[in-house]
Amino acid sequence: MKYREPLGNPRVGVLTIALRLPGCDSLKNKRSILRRLFSELQTGTNLSVAEIGDHDVPTAAVMGIVTINARWPKVESVLKWATQRCRNHFDIDVVDEQVERLI
Domain boundaries, the chain: 19-102
Exposure string over 49-71, b if 16+ CB within 10 A, otherwise e: bebeebeeebebbbbebbbbbee
Distance (Å, whole) CA 51 – CA 65: 9
- Which pTM value belongs to this model? 0.83
Q: State whether residue 7 is helix, strand or coil.
A: coil
pLDDT per residue as tens, the chain (103 positions): 566 666 668 899 999 999 999 989 999 999 999 999 999 898 888 899 999 998 899 999 999 999 999 889 999 999 999 999 989 887 889 999 999 988 7
CB distance 16 to 94 below 8 Å: no
What is the CATH architecture of 19-102?
2-Layer Sandwich (3.30)
Provide the pLDDT for residue 43. 85
Provide the pLDDT for residue 3. 63
Q: What is the DSSP letter of 20?
A: E
Provide the pLDDT for residue 7. 63
Q: Which amino acid is at 7?
A: L
